[in-house]
Structure formats: C-alpha cells, structure tokens
Amino acid sequence: MPEPREIAERLLDAQVDFLLAEVTGERFAEVVARDVGSVLGVAETILVRDVVAPEQAKQTVATVVDLIGGSPVFADMSGVFADSIYTHIAENDEYTLGEVVERQPVEALLEKILGMHQAQERILTRLTESPLVATVASKFVDKLIDDFMQANRQRAEKIPGVGSLVSLGQSAANRARKAAADNAFLSDMADKGARFALERTNNAIREVLRDAPVHSAAMEFWDLHAGEPVHGLREYLTKQDLRDLVLLSYEIAVTTREKPYFGLLLDECVDVFLGKYGEFTLAALLPELGLTGDDLRTEILRYGPAVIERAKADGVLAGLIRERLEPFYLSEPVLAILGAG
C-alpha cells in the first residue's frame, strides 16, 4: 500500500494538471465566464461603503496619483507622443477637422466663455493693477497713433509744403517724449496715461465681447477650417512647438500634484464620490463606470490566454501552482488523513 506522502504527491500532481487544464484553450473561456459571473453575483450583495472606507480610498487615490503622475513612462513618452501625433496630423488628409471635432460642443463652449462676464470683469480688473500690462497697453495705443501719423505723413508728402510741416510736428513730438522720459513729473503723468490707455483698452474689450458679433465671427472662423483636412493644423505650430507645449503642460501637472492643497482637493473628490455612490452595490457601480460583466470577460480573454500560454511554455505557471498547493498536501493533517484511510 502506498505511503501517505506518496499519495499526497500524486494528488498534488493531479490537481496541478487539473488547474492547468482549467486555463487552457476553450476551457479558459468557460472558466472566465463562470468566475466573472460568480464574482458579480457576490458583488451584487456588497455595498461600496461596506468595503471602501473614506480614509483608505483617499490613501489609495493619493498613491495612484503620486505613482502614476511621477512615472518615468509618462515623462519619457510625453514628448514622443507629441512628435508622433504631429507627424500623423501632418501626413493625414483623410479626415477633416469637422469630422474629428463636432460643431455643436465647440459652439456651446464658445457661448459659455463669452457669457462668463464675471470672469471677464475680474480678469480685466486685475490687469489694470499690473504696471507692466499698463505699459503694454500704452505702447499699443502709441503704436496705433504712430501708424496713423505715418499714414498721414505719406499722404501729406504728396502735397507740396505740407510734408515739411508734418515732419516738423513729428520731430517735436519725439522731443516731447524724450523730455517726458527724463522728467519725474512728466514720467508720473506718462504712467497715469498708460493706466488710462489700459482702461480704455479694457473698455474696448468689454464692448467687443458683449456687443460685437464675436460669437458669429468665431464660428465663421471655425466653419472655415472645419471642412479642411486636419493636416492644415500643422500650419499653426511646428513640431517643436507642440512638443514644448506638451512637456510644459506635463511639468505643470507633475509639480501641481506634489502640492498639499492638491491632496485636499483629491480628498474632497473622494468624499463626494462616496457620498453619491456609497449606497450602490459593487455590481451596480459597474454600469455607472461604463462597464458590464461582458466587458470584463472580453478584456480578460483578450490578454489572459497569451500570458498564460507563455507562462505554461516556460513551466512557470505549473511551478507557481505547485508552490502554492504543496504545503497543504504535505502538511501533517493531510498526511494523517491519508494514513488513516
């Protein structure tokens, strides 16, 4: 009669073979369907709040954001993705911009932006507090005046005698500007003038945004491009421009996630999520996430067989199964049972 240990080893071999057969060929699909169904059946009896504690969820979200956000893969691939996208856009004449991006959401977005009067007012108000922006506005107004004077001078030069008078006036104006720059009182007046120019510029922006047909003009601009192939977008920026923009945006995202306040925002999102979905069962949550049991089965069957077959071919899978089961079959209680039989 075989010894208990020999019987245990034979039972171990039989179960290893059985489990390997469970994940082979058509049987694997049956097992996946069975087990996913069983898991979902259990999930229908468990509420989210019963298995997801707020503090644990916050720690998990923070860990995921920290690990994924700082992943070398994202850092390495951001620029590569940008280059690849640019190249594909440059070579693609099959799709038009209107086919890729629908008109309705673009129009809705534009309407929302133009309708955000509170944001516009606040931005324009804060701009008036910046000395540098005021200087820019002043230079903008000066440029308009200079262009106007230049155009008039070109017309005046065609009239005998008038060109000299205009040149004399221009020379006097230039001397006045230089004197203003060297005089503190005049410099202060110039500063006030710059702020006045900025206020006038802001008022003009307000009037354009609220009264002028900006929305129609912008949608006309959109429609002009919507019928063109997407490769026309490359005319607005170079490959290096796109790469730099992507990398700079990535840098902003990475540095922002490291700030304590960002963690507080994540915690608030977790609280809101659990407040809304905490009473859902785990199974009922799947459709809210856009998933079904069929989706889970499909994705497992998409990648599972290749991974399992590779592991079986190298003997790794059988070794792992044996490693997990052997302590049980060769344990004293099991050997005692086999010996008693």
Residue 55 located in a structural domain: no
Residue 207 located in a structural domain: yes
Ramachandran angles phi, psi of 281, nearest 5°: -75, 160
Q: How far is CA 192 from CA 104, 137, 141, 205, 276, in A?
A: 45, 12, 14, 20, 54
Residue 71 located in a structural domain: no
pLDDT at 54: 93
161: left (phi over 0), alpha (psi -120 to 50) or beta: left
Whole-number Å distance between alpha carbons of 231 and 213: 29
Domain count, the chain: 1
Which two tokens mark 149? 């004077």
pLDDT tens-place string over residues 9-29: 999 999 999 999 998 888 899
pLDDT at 162: 46
pLDDT at 165: 47
CA-wise closest residue to 86 among 247, 252, 226, 240: 240
- Give me the residue label for tokens 């949550």: 285
Residue 200 located in a structural domain: yes
Residue 36 located in a structural domain: no
pLDDT tens-place string over residues 184-228: 444 555 566 666 777 777 788 888 878 778 888 889 989 988 988
Residue 212 located in a structural domain: yes
User: What residues make up the domain containing 195?
Assistant: 97-228
Contact 317, 308 (CB under 8 A): yes
Residue 307 located in a structural domain: no
CA-wise closest residue to 9 among 311, 331, 316: 331
Residue 3 located in a structural domain: no
Q: How far is CA 339 from CA 4, 16, 169, 327, in A?
A: 5, 22, 119, 17
Which stretches in the chain have pLDDT values below 70?
A: 1, 137-138, 140-142, 144-195, 341
